[in-house]
């Protein structure tokens, strides 16, 4: 049972997180996004784009005032300094090029930090309720999109008419960002539920993941299954022997099935994905030839590549990219160590965050997750909560092992 005081004392935090989570739900019903991604949609008006900043800024100010009026306590100075440096340098880059991507990097990282500093503790029960509501929204929105597509040929945002490339992105109407939400829910629900409920929920989440047609997400999911299987097999030698013996009998039917697919179908899928594949290729040779122009401080014109880690190097310089990578690594370590020591009641939360965090970090080699709102906010808010020891279970805050 969640006490009413939980929302009374943390109303700014929960309003801010809820606002960011559902803000872009206007995309699907209003059919507005980015014309470059969606030929059936129109561009998002400037007021809708700026609206999230306008609504979030007062919440950030209130959180900052509350933190300063209380103890203004900090127990993770390196994280605060790293976040301040990353945000302020991104803001400084606006002087050279007025690209909105700099604002996304600057504002949402700082917003997440201040939102977390403004609370004393957040209960596990309240976060559990948030994740349950998030799961309901994910399932309901996917069902609505699929039904409207089948019944009325209503296309979601990233869909090309007349092809197999119809990607469902849930309430975000963003397949790649929605996939990150699904991984958060997968890790949480796998530990949270048992028996038939767990099977049905996990099956639904996997189906929703496949409907995103996000190659990055699907490859990560398959890799996660392989790692999980190897860990399970390594603990049972008899199972390992059986797996090795049966592997050829599993591979042969799969190979025959792939060979039996119509070449036209495979060609259509690859042709539909060609533009997306080209967009994820980073021109290493071009940037290596002019390294002296971007290595120290980054290029003064923003270059919008899909591969975030490579784009971060050329847009912000190696020092900034190194600090950012160090911050993400430290946050992952905090959650990993907290997960290994967590009680059974708290394990679902940390497991979900860990799966989500790994996808956020590794998926950024192919996708700009740090720029994807609200995925960037959800990541930093929850990982800052863990790092600053502000997650409360019972009557005490849960402190991860220090690094």
Note the pLDDT of residue 100. 86
Longest dimension (CA), the chain: 68
pLDDT, mean over the chain: 85
pLDDT tens digits for 54-72? 999 999 999 999 988 876 6
Model pLDDT, residue 278: 53
**Tell me: the pLDDT tens digits for 118-147?**
998 999 999 999 999 999 999 999 999 999
CA pair distance 367, 308, nearest whole angstrom: 6
Euclidean distance between CA atoms 356 and 179, whole angstroms: 9
Mean pLDDT by 10 residues, the chain (403 residues): 63 95 94 73 88 96 90 80 95 84 93 94 93 97 95 86 83 95 96 93 96 93 85 66 60 57 50 53 77 85 89 93 96 94 89 97 93 96 95 64 49
- C-alpha 47/C-alpha 65 separation (Å) is 27
> Is there a contact between 124 and 382 (Cβ–Cβ < 8 Å)?
no
End-to-end CA distance of the chain: 33
Cα–Cα distance for residue pair 329/403, rounded to 1 Å:
11
d(CA 202, CA 35): 33
Distance CA 48, CA 27 (A): 10
pTM, 2 dp: 0.88
**142-167 pLDDT, tens per residue?**
999 999 999 998 989 888 777 778 89
């Amino acid at each position: 049972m969640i006490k009413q005081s939980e929302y009374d004392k943390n109303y700014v935090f929960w309003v801010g997180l809820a606002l960011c989570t559902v803000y872009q739900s206007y995309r699907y019903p209003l059919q507005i996004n980015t014309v470059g991604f969606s030929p059936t949609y129109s561009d998002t008006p400037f007021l809708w784009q700026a609206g999230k900043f306008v609504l979030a800024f007062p919440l950030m100010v209130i959180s900052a005032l509350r933190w300063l009026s209380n103890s203004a306590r900090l127990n993770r100075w390196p994280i605060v300094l790293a976040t301040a440096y990353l945000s302020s340098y991104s803001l400084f880059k606006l002087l050279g090029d007025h690209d909105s991507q700099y604002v996304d990097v600057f504002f949402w990282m700082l917003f997440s930090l201040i939102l977390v500093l403004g609370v004393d503790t957040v209960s596990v029960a309240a976060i559990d309720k948030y994740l349950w509501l998030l799961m309901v929204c994910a399932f309901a929105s996917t069902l609505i999109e699929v039904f409207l597509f089948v019944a009325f040929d209503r296309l979601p945002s990233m869909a090309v008419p007349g092809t197999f490339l119809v990607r469902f992105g849930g309430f975000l109407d963003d397949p790649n960002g929605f996939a990150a939400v699904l991984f958060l829910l997968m890790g949480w629900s796998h530990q949270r539920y048992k028996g038939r409920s767990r099977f049905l929920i996990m099956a639904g989440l996997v189906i929703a993941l496949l409907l995103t047609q996000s190659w990055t997400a699907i490859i990560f999911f398959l890799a996660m299954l392989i790692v999980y299987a190897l860990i399970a097999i390594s603990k049972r030698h008899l199972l390992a022997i059986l797996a090795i013996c049966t592997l050829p009998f599993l591979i042969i039917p799969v190979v025959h099935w792939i060979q039996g697919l119509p070449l036209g179908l495979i060609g259509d899928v690859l042709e539909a994905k060609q533009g997306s594949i080209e967009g994820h290729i980073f021109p290493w040779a071009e940037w290596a030839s002019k390294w002296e122009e971007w290595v120290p401080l980054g290029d003064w014109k923003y270059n919008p590549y899909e591969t975030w880690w490579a784009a971060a190097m050329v847009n912000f310089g190696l020092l900034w990219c190194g600090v950012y990578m160090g911050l993400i690594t430290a946050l992952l370590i905090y959650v990993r160590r907290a997960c290994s020591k967590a009680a059974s009641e708290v394990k679902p939360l940390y497991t979900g965050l860990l799966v989500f965090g790994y996808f956020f970090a590794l998926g950024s080699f192919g996708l700009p997750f740090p720029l994807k709102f609200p995925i960037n906010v959800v990541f930093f808010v929850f990982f800052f909560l863990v790092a600053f020891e502000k997650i409360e279970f019972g009557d005490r805050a849960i402190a991860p092992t220090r690094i």
